[in-house]
């Protein structure tokens, strides 16, 4: 199938590359000329394991092209994917849809054959139906356009696997023509056994925000339990393990720590709450506001633990923060708990050195006043305290005996509960963690 993709960011670039890998002819349009040039050369503007190799292979096949020309992208295409961002509005919780609307209008203005416009961007429920109403007003002589919604479920760090071997596909459609187009474009995945659900436009839009709301709730639930464990001298790690054996609950996303960040969960739950309010159903998701508060309190708790260790005096303390990305296997620092903690301690007077295997450049652009170290050992050298803030595998493999010789004081705050605390303690370290009251006594 001849496909256009609008947006060459994380979602658009990966989706387009995977569609080309599946055998489609794909042209990607983006207004960012340097990004288009970089991707066209086979290099990526972000870190995602395995993506650069797949990008280079699909470019070599001739089935993938990046361009700044909307006309070139749309010409002859039977399907158009909208993969642009929907950030949080400035000064409000609602989603900013200007990029979705601009991409949609550009496609409509340039289309030369009948086809389907498919939204993958995460949008407030009702957006797709509104856009479908706009194409229904087109003249009889214009190419016929259908609107469908196909929410994305990419996880940073496993995005290639999530695209080529998804656990489900969701097609929001309002006609058999749209449904047929969706099953054709994903025919290889469906034939390989990927289950798919065909539903209406509104339900398809709801799937992504409902899924993210559930995950945010599960993460914040165990972090709320961590707050109680700290004052009750209980251990949230053991509690989580015991809960996870219950197959009604499960162990995934049940790890207490510094909380979630990134470009999806925080803004999506806020936008969902805002949209529910517009629809007159604010009370139905009022719990999401508390979820947001619990998540933010985890960052404050790490600062509190460090402050207690230093008796409230951060001035002149040398602190190593391990991690800048919001999660491992990513260079995304949007709403990163790790960077938030590092910046706050810096503002309190500490000398903070941040290390991350992939995200230093992005972190430096966001917080240029922090100090960044390319070497893990250099970051920890002469440190009065280490905060493990992002659970990269590299940090899990630190030898506490070796690093004890580097630091000024062997004090560790494991904000992700990612390390073997007994091993570190036996190696002479004072270990603190979130939700482990027994450990912190």
E-state strands within 126-188 = 145-149, 169-172
Grouping H, G, I as helix, E, B as strand and the rest as coil, residue 106 is helix
Distance CA 8, CA 11 (A): 7
Distance CA 393, CA 376 (A): 13
CB 265 within 8 A of CB 216: yes
Q: What values do phi and psi take at 318, rounded to 5?
A: -100, 115
Nearest to 116 by CA among 129, 132, 97: 132
Radius of gyration over every alpha carbon of the chain, rounded to an integer in angstroms: 24
Sign of CA dihedral 272, 209, 186, 102: positive
User: What are the catalytic residues?
Assistant: 264
Sign of CA dihedral 359, 365, 320, 346: negative
CB atoms within 10 A of CB 25: 17
Q: Where are the alpha helices (DSSP H) in 186-262?
A: 187-191, 201-232, 236-244
Distance CA 381, CA 408 (A): 8
Burial class (CB in 10 A: 0-12, 13-18, 19+), 246: exposed
CB 412 within 8 A of CB 389: no
């Amino acid at each position: 199938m001849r496909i256009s993709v609008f947006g060459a960011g994380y979602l658009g670039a990966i989706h387009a590359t995977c569609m080309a890998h599946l055998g489609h002819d794909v042209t990607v349009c983006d207004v960012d000329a340097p990004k288009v040039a970089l991707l066209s050369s086979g290099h990526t503007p972000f870190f995602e394991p395995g993506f650069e190799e797949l990008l280079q292979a699909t470019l070599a096949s001739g089935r993938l092209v990046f361009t700044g020309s909307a006309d070139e992208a749309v010409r002859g295409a039977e399907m158009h994917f909208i993969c642009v961002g929907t950030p949080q509005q400035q000064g409000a919780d609602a989603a900013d849809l200007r990029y979705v609307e601009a991409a949609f209008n550009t496609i409509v203005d340039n289309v030369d054959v009948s086809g389907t416009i498919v939204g993958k961007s995460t949008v407030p429920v009702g957006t797709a139906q509104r856009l479908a109403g706009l194409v229904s007003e087109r003249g009889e002589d214009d190419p016929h356009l259908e609107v469908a919604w196909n929410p994305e479920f990419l996880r940073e760090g496993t995005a290639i696997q999530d695209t080529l071997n998804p656990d489900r596909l969701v097609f929001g459609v309002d006609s058999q023509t749209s449904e047929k187009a969706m099953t054709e474009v994903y025919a290889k995945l469906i034939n390989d056994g990927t289950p798919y659900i065909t539903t209406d436009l509104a339900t398809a839009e709801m799937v992504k925000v409902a899924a993210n709301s559930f995950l945010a709730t599960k993460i914040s639930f165990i972090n709320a339990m961590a707050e109680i464990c700290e004052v009750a001298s209980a251990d949230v790690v053991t509690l989580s393990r015991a809960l996870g054996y219950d197959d009604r609950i499960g162990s995934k996303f049940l790890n207490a720590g510094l909380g979630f960040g990134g470009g999806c969960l925080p803004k999506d739950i806020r936008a969902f709450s805002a949209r529910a309010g517009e629809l007159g159903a604010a009370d139905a998701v009022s719990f999401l506001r508390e979820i947001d508060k619990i998540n933010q309190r985890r960052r404050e708790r790490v600062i509190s633990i460090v402050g207690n260790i230093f008796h409230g005096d951060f001035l002149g303390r040398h602190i190593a923060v391990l991690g800048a990305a919001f999660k491992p296997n990513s260079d995304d620092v949007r709403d990163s708990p790790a960077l938030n903690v590092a910046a706050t301690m810096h503002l309190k007077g500490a000398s903070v050195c941040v290390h991350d295997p992939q995200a230093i450049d992005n972190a430096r652009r966001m917080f240029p006043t922090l100090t960044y170290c390319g070497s893990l050992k250099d970051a920890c050298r002469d440190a009065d305290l280490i905060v493990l803030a992002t659970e990269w595998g590299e940090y899990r493999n630190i030898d506490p005996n070796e690093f004890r010789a580097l630091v000024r004081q062997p004090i560790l705050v494991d904000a992700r509960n990612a390390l073997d605390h007994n091993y570190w303690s036996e190696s002479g370290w004072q270990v603190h963690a979130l939700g482990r009251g027994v450990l912190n006594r």
